[in-house]
Amino acid sequence: MAEADAGSSPSSVDGGGGTVQNDYPTIDPTSFDVVICGTGLPESVLAAACAAAGKTVLHVDPKPFYGSLYSSIPLPSLAPFLSPDPSPPSSAAAAAPESHTVVDLQQRSVYSEVEFSGAAPEPARRFTVDLVGPRVLYCADEAVDLLLRSGGSHHVEFKSVEGGSLLYWEGCLYPVPGKRQDIFIDKTLGLLEKRTLNKFFNLVKGHVAAASASPDEAGEGDASAKIPEEDLDLPFVEFLEKQGLSPKMRAVVLYAIAMADYDQDGADPSEKLITTREGIQTIALYSSSIGRFANAEGAFIYPMYGHGELPQAFCRCAAVKGALYVLRMPVAALLLDEVKKHFVGARLASGQDILCKQLIIDPSYEIPTLDTSFGGPDLNSPRKVARGICIISKSVKQGSSNVLVVFPPKFSTLVLALEEQQVAAVRLLQLSSNLAVCPPETFVAYLSTPCTDPSSGKQCIQKAMHALFSPQASDGSEGHLETDDKSTVKPTLIWSCVYVQEITQGTSRPFLSCPMPDEHLDYRNILESTKKLFADIYPDEEFLPKKSAPVNADDDSDSE
């Protein structure tokens, strides 16, 4: 990879107006089409897209590793990452170029309410933790297609979430049917439930096939198979009720297949209700993901070594196209054209000034010398997500290494219940040593739930942990969890971290800023925002065009 490693170059003076300090390299050239600060997934995808479009790209990051807010890091590095030193990067004092003003820049923490519990097994560095968890990729989603098209699939390997999905319902874990045969072998469903659910999936399948047929191929039968427009515009929960699905089956479809984040059948109508059209789109993605790769059992795959491998894969694609990478290089200030009121470059911590036509900034940067509505976080998106990371002793599903568990809103047991204000689903993703994220005989579990109040968000995470895991006890006793038809011993919770992360969308004022990791299970929203940012910069360029050589998806996926 084309990379200048900060810390190895001798002292020199650059040609851009600043004095380069001893421990930073000189960057040559000093002018680029695009300068990107931060190597998160959206920034890395943008770097690859810009480089593929023939633009000159400089990509810098203050950290010694790739990923920024999308990193996978060793467990001992988690605490300092979540609660960093607030001191801003310093740069050598230098005069700004004529007609340019130097505007201070500093990084801020997007994490709060950080709480650790327990002691991690030694050696702790054998655990690699994601900052974006729980997160998976659908086998058929655009993130996988982008990896294949860009060649990034050569730099990352995937494994299947072979345990599938489970729904936590009334104190028990129920399997989520992935395909038709799963419905009929499921011992937890009654005969009427099986027939109703199978009829519903056939209805969705027929609609998707009819909607995707070309006008020449479509016949009268295809037209009649389509769900009427008035039903597609209905709240999805109302459509499911019309199809006769039981409350448990509605929860399966809404929260474990359609992946609704918020309560869909509360007493008060919610502005976050998903429509039938939106629900069917996700079900279609879920269904088309099953069986796409011969060696992936279910709908979901997960990158070996963690999600931090994804931005690094796109960075490698960008580097192949000529992008220059400099790690350990903070950005200390921005260069503002006073006449045009447009940022035209960045002053690095080395003191060197780099000019550019387009500037893209990691969302964890802020400009303290400007009004917050101009340079701070997006105040129109005060969303937050509560996250949890756990180390546990065994799998929550016997015989499965990697598994997804979904807690619907207002889940409860006879003994333990969440407060009524819990209006969002909680998701848990359990991973094993076969993904190289933890030692054998231990498991890492990630939890998340969207929230507006940090305290209630953390409480939801902790209640879900309590429902599935038992605390370590001096007498060795452990709790029990009811599964399909028998009681099993709960995994022991060895160590945990619970924290809250703010969420802001990408912005274009007065420089481009990429979206933070959001509350969703996949990257669809993040990639859509990233594509929009690229279109804003280069409306006439194709976003990551397909390679000239055909790519065999099965060969390049490396999913197992």
Give per-residue pLDDT as tens, 415-467.
344 444 678 999 999 999 999 999 999 999 999 999 989 999 999 999 999 99
For 463-499, give the DSSP string. Answer: HHHHHH-EE--TT----EEE-SSSEEEPPEEEEEEEE
Q: Looking at the predicted structure, is the pLDDT value of residue 474 above 50?
A: yes
Peptide bond into 440 cis (omega under 30): no
Give per-residue pLDDT as tens, 90-139.
554 555 556 688 988 888 889 999 999 999 999 999 999 999 999 999 99
Confidence of residue 1 (pLDDT cuts 50, 70, 90): low
How far apart are the C-alpha atoms of 481 and 483, rounded to whole Å?
A: 6
Q: Looking at the predicted structure, is the pLDDT value of residue 504 above 50?
A: yes
User: pLDDT value at position 379?
Assistant: 45
239 and 249 Cβ atoms separated by less than 8 Å:
no
3-state DSSP assignment of residue 356: strand
Which sequence spans correspond to the domains of the chain?
A: 3-109+305-378+505-544+551-557, 179-289
Pick from 461, 469, 451: nearest CA to 394: 469
Confidence of residue 265 (pLDDT cuts 50, 70, 90): confident
Q: Average pLDDT of 291-298?
A: 86
Q: Which two tokens stand for residue 354?
A: 């780099």
User: pLDDT value at position 548?
Assistant: 34
User: pLDDT value at position 10?
Assistant: 28
Q: How distant is the alpha carbon of residue 220 from its chain centre?
A: 41
Pick from 357, 353, 331: nearest CA to 344: 357
CATH fold for the domain made of 3-109+305-378+505-544+551-557: FAD/NAD(P)-binding domain (3.50.50)
Q: Which two tokens stand for residue 98?
A: 């004529």
20 and 352 Cβ atoms separated by less than 8 Å:
yes
Q: How distant is the alpha carbon of residue 101 from its chain centre?
A: 36
Confidence of residue 472 (pLDDT cuts 50, 70, 90): confident
Confidence of residue 7 (pLDDT cuts 50, 70, 90): very low
Place of tokens 């997934």: 41
Q: Which two tokens stand for residue 509?
A: 């004022």
Place of tokens 């499911």: 240
CA angle at residue 94 from 92 to 96, to 5 degrees? 135
Q: Looking at the predicted structure, is the pLDDT value of residue 243 above 50?
A: yes
208 and 201 Cβ atoms separated by less than 8 Å:
no
Task: Considering the domain delimited by 179-289, tell me its CATH architecture.
Answer: Orthogonal Bundle (1.10)
Place of tokens 């969890």: 481
For 226-251, give the secondary structure using H, E and C: CCCHHHHCCEHHHHHHHCCCCHHHHH
User: pLDDT value at position 414?
Assistant: 34
- Cross-strand bridge partners of residue 333: 104, 347
Q: Looking at the predicted structure, is the pLDDT value of residue 40 above 60?
A: yes
Q: Looking at the predicted structure, is the pLDDT value of residue 556 above 50?
A: no
How far apart are the C-alpha atoms of 102 and 105, rounded to whole Å?
A: 9
Which of the two residues, 410 and 356, has the higher pLDDT score?
356
Q: Looking at the predicted structure, is the pLDDT value of residue 89 above 70?
A: no
User: pLDDT value at position 27?
Assistant: 95
How far apart are the C-alpha atoms of 239 and 274, rounded to whole Å?
A: 11
Q: What is the mean pLDDT of the chain?
A: 84
6 and 329 Cβ atoms separated by less than 8 Å:
yes
